[in-house]
Structure 1
Amino acid sequence: MSVSSVDDRQRAARLLLRHPLIRSTDEERYRLVRRYSSDLEEWFEINTGWAMHADSEVVRLEREPATVADPTHPFATRRGGAVLSRRRYVLLMLGLSVLERSDSQVALGRLAEQVIAAGTAPEFAAAGFSFDLSTREERSDLVAAVQLLLEWGVLVRVAGDEQDFVHKTGDALYDVSRRVLSQLLVTRRGPSTISAQTLDDRMVAMRDRGAAPTTELRNLRLRHTLTRRLIDDPVLYFADLDDEESAYLRSQRAALCRRITEFTGLVAEIRREGIAMVDLDDDLSDVRMPEKGTEGHVTLLVAEFLARSGVAEHFVASLVAHVRSIAPDFAKYWRASALEADAAADLVATSLGRLSALRLITRTGDIVRVLPALARFALAEPTILGGRKP
């Protein structure tokens, strides 16, 4: 394979990792991924266990996370990165269930009526969920769910505007894409076939692959799990692995890292504590550091403070006090509201959320524990060279 072909295949693989569902209407991306669909399908199946579906309308990588117990990466909209509230998430799921049984076209008002009807089931009331269209906030929540469906291509707008619905001045009409809708759910088992009652038990059952009866199959699953974690997690710490995973990684580390690098362009940085697959192009991460804006700057300053402290654990209150104390020094760089008395707590909460997502710290209640990868932010005081002599 030529160098240009390898580069294009890497672009296709990275594109599919960023956008696991690509419609044929997205012509440039769709053509690139379809060109290398055989290579992509084979690599993902062998190395991650992720199935890939490609047809004349859609390409779908059935990307299962290595774990569903990580709270540091909540479901967020691509536009603006806002985390979906509990109610909006429920409305999104109800909307999908309604669309499964809808006609090929649906009006937003009709969709709303059916969502309200579906939300009256006793299970929702028992969980404290209720919904109607009496307030603008509730209509905005439904529209936020609909806009996600538009972004994914489940719905295609034919006429009208969602904001007219929010303001109660109009409606909107959509085509429903059955093909895209059928490709959204990624589970080993359908939720309706599972008898478990608790959320955790149901999540385990949906992902259950059964027992691995042979050594070969156990090793294959270990490869899948570790490759997923190396691709998905900012840092894979050796201390987080069980005995089987540790033994497999010790013997196969070079091969695993090489395969990922060759196929995605991610570069392995291997340290005593773990492995990070570094994205030199910086386009695969949903959380960046450093990042522009007040929150981005505060996150960097908090990281530097934690890394240089030499202390493994800190109270959140001490970090709030630190940010409050340095705020006047950066007044001209931060937005005005960041200098208010109660702003420091919110800024620290946002910073700690980002650092947790990047696997640089863990937070348990009011205690923050520093993880090894944070050491790279322990910057020394700058040395100015070539300054004027006294």
Structure 2
Amino acid sequence: MFEVKLPKLRDDVEESLVVVWFVSEGDAVEKGDRLVEVQTEKEVSELDAEESGKVKEIVVNRGESAKVGEVLALIDTEGSPKPNPVKQKAAVKKAEAPDASTGTKPEVQKITKQVSPKEEGTGEEAPKMVRIAPGLRKLARDLDVDLAQVSGTGRNGNITGDDIRKAASPPAEVIAEKVEPEGMIPLSGIRGTIARRMVESLQQSAQLTETAWADVTKLVSKKEKLGDAVGWTALLAKAVAQALSAHPHMNGQIKDNKIELRNEINLGFAVDTELGLQVAVVQESEKVPAAELHAKLVELAGKARGGKLAKTESSGSTFTITSLGGYRVQFFTPIINPPEIAILGIGRIEDHLVLEKGKVRVRKRLPLSLTVDHRAVDGAPAAKFLDELISLLEKPKLFLEKNKE
């Protein structure tokens, strides 16, 4: 009996949620066949069969979570069960391959209308039948998706797995409507994983938050000239990267009771998704020009919301930036993204009246909240970093001209 165990998909994740099984108990599978799709708080992965045989038991059902090393299913490898052609990748590929005689591709996923004799002349629309690869049909069935209502975005209008998953994910407002005030939402799956990591972050580190205002009047003017080419997050990230270069003790991680400082500045950016907060990462952010960084952040945010971040795009961050500037929030207490040393929270820019040479003037100010792990950084060094960052933001030429494109 072969045990299908949840592998360690990435160093910073110990738990995954089972999204969908591509097989059922009793199905025959061959080595390499798709078995199950699992999701961490950061990405979606598919697990293939490592042995041929028959699925004896599915231990962790769809919607349940498992930790690394736990058994997801059992495969009976004794004997030589006849492979189920429905489950073979070869069969699916063959069905999608071009016809040797005509050079055309069979319309495996074509939506056709079947009209029975009873329906002829009634004026009623006949039910639609969708021809689709068995694996995708099972995915739709497991996710309770009506294939006739799915618009294909694949080649030749074919329905893809992403189309089915998108159809299974109702908008946030629909989800909110289904939650009764007295109802209970299980703290499990992705939400549970995020909750556990945040609790561990607070329990296993000594977190200290320092706050300060930055006068960004000149930066606002610079942003207006740049227009949509560079977003606020990208501008602030360039200032953060330069400040980290001058204060390397803020850029790193704590692992195995050791402070590991890094030369490269891999900035993490908190992205709000329907499944919860996810962190997208731009490797070596200090080397990326502001406009390019902005485009990259837009791309990563889209991937994060679609659960499509690659491993390099969701791990290895050395410092994280999180923003609530789009809301009426000034200062807050950001929680460190373990195993990092620090995280910067950005609030909403607001008008501020100051007295200059006897005259009242309107300035723009930005609230900053810096949380550090006191085990690695004391209050004074953290304050010096924050002071450096504020100086850069108040004089944008100091970091924008240095990173001219």
**Structure (1/2) with the larger helix percentage:** 1
Larger Rg: 2
**Structure (1/2) with the larger strand percentage:** 2
Normalised by the length of structure 2, the TM-score is 0.29
